[in-house]
Amino acid sequence: MDAIRTIVRTARRRIMMRDAVLRIASASVWAGAALLAVLLGCRLASAWLPVLGSPVIPWVGIGVAVASVAAWTAVRVSRPSDLAVSSVVDVKLGLHDRLSTAIAVADRSDPFARAAVEDGLRVAQDGRVRQGIRTACPIAVPRTAFFGAALMGSAVVAWLALPPIPVGGGTVQSEGASEELAAARAAAAARLEPVVRQIESNDALAKALGMTEQQDGERTDGGRDGDSAEAVRKEAARRMTELTQKLDQLMQSEQAQQLDALKDALSRVEPSQGSPVQSLAEALKRGDAAAARQQLEALAKQASDPSLDAATREALAKSLEQLASQIEKSAQGQDALRKALERSGMDSALASNPAALEQALAKADQLNEAQKESIRQAARAQRSANDSLEKLAKSMGQCAGQCRNPSSGKSGGASGSKDGQSPGEEGSQPSSSASSLAQGNQMLSEMEQLAQMMQDAQSARSQCAGGGNATQLASSGSPQRSGQAGQGRGPQGGPSNGGSTPTQETPFGTKSRKERVANQGGDVIARQLVEAPPVVGESRAKLQQIAQEISRGVEEGTGEDPVPPHLREAHRRYFGEMRRRIEQKTGPSSP
Amino acid sequence: MGVKAMASGPAESAYGGARAMHAAPAALQERIESVEGVREACAAFRSVADLLRAAIGRTVIGQQEAVEQVLMALFANGHILLEGVPGLGKTLLVKALGSALGLGFSRIQCTPDLMPADVLGTHIVVDDEAGGGRSMRFRPGPIFTQVLLVDEINRATPKSQSALLEAMQERRVTVGGETRDLPSPFLVLATQNPIEQEGTYPLPEAQLDRFLLKVTVPYVSREELVAILERTTGGPVAEFAPVLGAAGIAAAQRLARMVLVAPHVQDYAIRLVLATHPDGPACPPDLAPLISIGASPRAAQALLSCAKVRALCAGRAAVGTSDIAALAHPALRHRVMRSFEAEAGGIPVDAIVDRVLAHVPREWQP
A355-388 burial, b for 16+ CB within 10 Å, e for fewer?
eebeebbeeeeebeeebbebbbbbbebbebbbeb
Structural domain includes residue A525:
no
The answer for A 55-94 residues in CB contact with B (under 8 A) is 81, 83-84, 87-88, 90-91, 94
**A403 shares a domain with A295:** yes
Structural domain includes residue A528:
no
Query: For residue B145, what is the DSSP state?
Result: S
Query: For residue A163, what is the DSSP state?
Result: P
Q: What's the length of chain A? A: 591
Residues of A in contact with B361 (CB under 8 A): 91
**Does the pLDDT at position B196 exceed 80?**
no
Contact call for residues A2 and A119 (beta carbons, < 8 A): no
CA separation for the pair B64, A507 (Å, rounded): 98
Structure confidence at residue B300 (pLDDT): 94
Q: Hey, are the CB atoms on A87 and B37 less than 8 Å from each other?
A: no
Structure confidence at residue B326 (pLDDT): 94
**A471 shares a domain with A579:** no
SS (H, E, C) A33-60: HHHHHHHHHHHHCCCCCHHHCCCCHHHH
Conformational region of residue A164, where left means phi above 0, alpha means psi within -120 to 50, and beta covers everything else = beta
Structure confidence at residue B264 (pLDDT): 92
Residue A37: Cβ within 10 Å count: 12
Q: Hey, are the CB atoms on A96 and B323 less than 8 Å from each other?
A: yes
Rounded alpha-carbon distances, angstroms, from residue A350 to A263, A338, A346, A354, A376: 22, 8, 8, 7, 12
Rounded alpha-carbon distances, angstroms, from residue B190 to A499, B164, B165: 121, 10, 10
Confidence bin at B304 (pLDDT 50/70/90): very high
Query: For residue A80, what is the DSSP state?
Result: P
**A193 shares a domain with A102:** no
A116 touches chain B (CB under 8 A): yes
Structure confidence at residue B27 (pLDDT): 58
Structure confidence at residue A419 (pLDDT): 41
The answer for A 117-156 residues in CB contact with B (under 8 A) is 118-119
**A343 shares a domain with A284:** yes
Angle between helices B64-75 and B90-101 (to 10 degrees): 50
Contact call for residues B237 and B33 (beta carbons, < 8 A): no
Structure confidence at residue B214 (pLDDT): 94
Pairing mode, if any, of strands B105-109 and B147-151? parallel
Residues of B in contact with A107 (CB under 8 A): none
CA nearest to B48, candidates B339, B256, B324, B302: B256
Structure confidence at residue A550 (pLDDT): 80
Q: Hey, are the CB atoms on A98 and B35 less than 8 Å from each other?
A: no
CA separation for the pair B288, B274 (Å, rounded): 11
Pairing mode, if any, of strands B291-293 and B337-338? antiparallel
The alpha carbon of residue A81 and the mean position of all alpha carbons in its chain are separated, in whole angstroms, by 70
Q: Which of A432, A462, A492 is the last residue of a domain?
A: A462
Residue A352: Cβ within 10 Å count: 13
Residue A126: Cβ within 10 Å count: 14
Q: Hey, are the CB atoms on A91 and B362 less than 8 Å from each other?
A: yes
The alpha carbon of residue A220 and the mean position of all alpha carbons in its chain are separated, in whole angstroms, by 17
**Report for A564-578, B45-59, B293-307: range of highest mean pLDDT:** B293-307
The answer for B 287-306 residues in CB contact with A (under 8 A) is none
Question: Mean pLDDT in chain B?
Answer: 84
For residue B272, the number of C-alpha atoms closer than 13 Å in the C-beta half-sphere is 37
**A215 shares a domain with A268:** no
Q: Taking the alpha carbons of A418, A419, A420, A423 in that order, is the dihedral positive or negative? A: negative
- 3-class DSSP assignment, residue A113: helix
**A154 shares a domain with A276:** no
Q: Hey, are the CB atoms on B258 and A94 less than 8 Å from each other?
A: no
Task: Give the mean pLDDT of B106-111.
Answer: 90
Q: Hey, are the CB atoms on B33 and A81 less than 8 Å from each other?
A: no
Residue of B nearest to A114 (CA): B35
Q: Which domain holds residue A411?
A: 254-462
- The CATH number for B259-366, chosen from 1.10.8.80, 1.10.290.10, 1.10.3080.10, 3.40.50.300, is 1.10.8.80
For residue B39, the number of C-alpha atoms closer than 13 Å in the C-beta half-sphere is 11
Residue of B nearest to A120 (CA): B318
Q: Which amino acid, A172? A: V
- The residue that leads in pLDDT, B44 or A47, is B44
B244 min Cα distance to partner chain A (Å): 24
Q: Which amino acid, A445? A: S
Greatest CA separation for chain A: 162
Helices (H), A162-202: 176-200
Contact call for residues B317 and A115 (beta carbons, < 8 A): yes
Residues of B in contact with A8 (CB under 8 A): none
Structure confidence at residue A212 (pLDDT): 59
Q: Which amino acid, B182? A: L
Structure confidence at residue A44 (pLDDT): 67
**A375 shares a domain with A457:** yes
Q: Is the peptide bond before B112 cis (omega within 30 degrees of 0)?
A: no
A101 touches chain B (CB under 8 A): yes
B321 touches chain A (CB under 8 A): yes
Angle between helices B263-275 and B297-313 (to 10 degrees): 130
Q: Hey, are the CB atoms on B32 and A87 less than 8 Å from each other?
A: no
CA nearest to A219, candidates A189, A254, A255: A189
Task: Give the mean pLDDT of B217-236.
Answer: 81
Q: What are the sequence ranges of the domains in chain B?
A: 1-58+243-258, 63-239, 259-366
CA separation for the pair A178, A186 (Å, rounded): 12
- 3-class DSSP assignment, residue A504: coil
Helices (H) and strands (E) in chain B, counts: 16, 11
Q: Which residues pair with B272 in a beta bridge?
A: none
Task: Give the mean pLDDT of B167-174.
Answer: 87
Greatest CA separation for chain B: 76
**A475 shares a domain with A456:** no
**Does the pLDDT at position B5 exceed 60?**
no
B298-309 burial, b for 16+ CB within 10 Å, e for fewer?
bbbbbbbbbbbb
Contact call for residues B165 and B207 (beta carbons, < 8 A): yes
Cβ within 8 Å of residue A80, ≥6 positions away: A12, A15, A16, A88
Structure confidence at residue A77 (pLDDT): 84
Total number of domains in chain A: 4
Structure confidence at residue A531 (pLDDT): 67
Structure confidence at residue B96 (pLDDT): 85
Angle between helices A176-200 and A229-251 (to 10 degrees): 20
Contact call for residues A557 and A563 (beta carbons, < 8 A): yes
CA separation for the pair A257, A244 (Å, rounded): 19
Structure confidence at residue A467 (pLDDT): 52
**A265 shares a domain with A230:** no
Mutate to test the interface with B, among A78, A97, A103 (most CBs of B within 10 A): A97
ipTM of the complex: 0.81
- 3-class DSSP assignment, residue A108: coil
Percent of chain B exceeding pLDDT 70 equals: 89
**A64 shares a domain with A8:** yes
A18 touches chain B (CB under 8 A): no
| Domain B63-239: CATH class, spelled out | alpha beta
**A484 shares a domain with A396:** no
A30 min Cα distance to partner chain B (Å): 28
- 3-class DSSP assignment, residue B136: strand
Residue of A nearest to B259 (CA): A112
The string of DSSP letters for B281-323 reads TTS-TTTGGGEEE---HHHHHHHHHHHHHHHHHTT-SB--HHH
Q: Which residues of chain A have pLDDT under 50?
A: 50-51, 168-172, 214, 216-217, 409-430, 468-500, 589-591
**A50 shares a domain with A62:** yes
